[in-house]
Amino acid sequence: MKKRLSVLLTAALLLAALTACGSNTSGSASDISQGSEENVQKSEPAEDDEENYDTGDASLDDPRNADEIGENELLVVSFGTSYNDSRRLTIGAIEKAMEDAFPQWSIRRGFTSQIIIDHVMRRDGIAIDNVGEALDRAVENGVKNLVIQPTHLMDGFEYNDLAEEAAQYADAFEAIVIGEPLLTSDEDFAAVAEAVVEATAEYDDGSTAIVLMGHGTEAESNGVYAKMQQVLTDAGNTNYFVGTVEAEPSLDDVLAAVKAGEYTRAVLRPLMVVAGDHANNDMAGDDEESWKSAFEGAGYDVVCLVNGLGELEAVQQLFVQHAQAAVDSLGQVSSETASGSREAGGKDLQVQESGQADAADEAVSQAGTSGKSGKPIYGDSLKDGTYEIAADSSSSMFNIEACTLTVKNGQMTADMTMGGTGYLYVYMGTGEEAAAAGEDSYIPFAEDEKGTHTFTVPVEALNSEIACAAFSKNKETWYDRTLVFRADSLPADAFADGVFTTAESLGLEDGNYTVEVSLSGGSGRASVESPAQMTVEGGAAMVTIVWSSSSYESMKVDGVQYEPVSTEENSVFVIPVSAFDSPIPVQAVTVAMSRPHEIEYTLYFDSSAIQAQS
């Protein structure tokens, strides 16, 4: 396993190592986390060990989490870094550029890495909000217009996770929009390429290969690296080479490309917004697996520039431009129609594209679907068979693309088809337990002819959090994951009779009733009218949901989309009650913002509060 330079070196040794590598130490920093400090992707956290070197004065950096900030907030979201100087010179500089460009907006900060947030708090006593805390703070402060500008490099897993989390607050503000990541348009690529070339121009002497190290991802967005290489080459910068730590082009690919030329020196610089752990260790570290060691071993003189893209003014201003496009799009909120224009700048947090139910009788036929209950579902509550099932993972790096549940004699197993090949084993338990267990308890992957990896794991219960440790091939260590296999994705006929309380099991006769209903989820600001009107026919119950807003354009229950029967004063829907006395997840699309946003809610119908109507 790699030795982490951030753990083993004293301040003097770190400085010596960087100097020997030709490092520009202004703003160079190793991150306490092994995560994607450049905000490209979520990566695996390293152990939170004692630091033996100075990271800078935390008091010089503004955490930007004050209250009473007014109605307009611009939230800058970054992965984060525990290195105070690096945080100030990159993330802090981007935030300051936003403050200068938007004097009428309060600039606030949010980090996505809880490990970094906790470490900075423990070490320096500095509180930095995570995304959820920052959004809650905005709600509590009475913010009306919220712009979220991430400092991500690309539209990858982490950017989409941010958009998904922000979408759950779409009912909390009068207007909310998220800006685009750094590399979005052709103009963005050209601007970043030009900025990097300008920053390294003194080294481009014809005999020097300038190597840009990105993070890499298993997502399709990894193509940004190949595109950046093409943009550089097309502009005549033929001495520049782009590679990644975690994907392709790999270190071997880049080294082979450099060897094909007649270079005697290599300059290494991160293609990352923040120069943290990857830059200091994977790139500039003395470990034998580092890029520096690889190039030195190939006979090149090596210079390491440990500076993040966020230090470049051109990059700061590019983020400002993206935030400006998001701010400009807010002007369209008041004129948006329920159809939801998608022409405005900024990220569409979640656009509802599903088809709608054809008729009320189809809706009634779906009313018996009981899978939306949030209570634990065990194998003896399901019929034997094989079913496609949705599986949620606590980490976007542990990406489950498809999952099949097999039920036999009350026992359940799940075949998880992964979106990548980065894990060698899984273990049903914690990483600590896995490390102490024998190898015979590890679950290996099965590989098909396409190279896809599938893990087959036991499932104790659906709708329950299950601890699962995953062994990283690249990092050679165990990482904790939490899995939830969702009963709401199973068909109605997968469940044994009597599992849920239904209108039929309650013996409700055909007729009209009222029922107490409660709503949870979203930002907590939305509500529904209770008691609600309910009609029972043929053992199936349909309920009228009256929202506190007129901005909901559709609801989805058990995979079926329903249109409102009225939106004059409030959005009104007639939907099936699949189960009483159990939480029923539903999705509702609001158009209160610049675009339609799908929000997850939970409805709960109380069978003890059903009243017959004359």
Catalytic residue numbers, as ranges: 215
Element (H, E) at 123: helix 114-124
- The structure tokens 């018996």 sit at 368
71 CB-contact burial (10 Å; exposed 0-12 / middle 13-18 / buried 19+): middle
Closest C-alpha among 560, 548, 552, 557 to residue 583: 557
Looking at beta carbons, which pairs linking 254-261 to residues 24 or more positions away fall under 8 Å? Answer: 254/211, 255/294, 255/295, 255/298, 258/209, 258/211, 258/295, 258/298, 258/300, 259/298, 261/209
End-to-end CA distance of the chain: 73
- The structure tokens 């930095």 sit at 128
Q: How many residues does the chain have?
A: 614
Q: Could you say which DSSP state residue 553 is in?
A: E
Structure tokens at 38: 């450049």
Q: Assess whether the previous peptide bond of 564 is cis (omega < 30° from 0).
A: no
Task: Please name the amino acid found at residue 278.
Answer: H
314 CB-near residues (< 8 Å, 6+ apart): 191, 192, 194, 195, 198
- For residues 438 and 428, what is the distance between their CA atoms, to the nearest angstrom? 13
In degrees and rounded to multiples of 5, residue 348 shows phi and psi of: -75, 110
Per DSSP, what are the bridge partners of residue 356?
561
- The structure tokens 């309910």 sit at 534
- For residues 277 and 34, what is the distance between their CA atoms, to the nearest angstrom? 6
Q: Starting from the edge strand earliest in sequence, which strands make up the sheet with 390-393, in order?
A: 390-393, 478-486, 466-472, 423-427, 443-444
Cβ pair 265, 207 in contact under 8 A: yes
Cβ pair 29, 58 in contact under 8 A: no
- For residues 8 and 115, what is the distance between their CA atoms, to the nearest angstrom? 20
Q: How many CB atoms lie within 10 A of CB 127?
A: 11
Element (H, E) at 94: helix 91-101
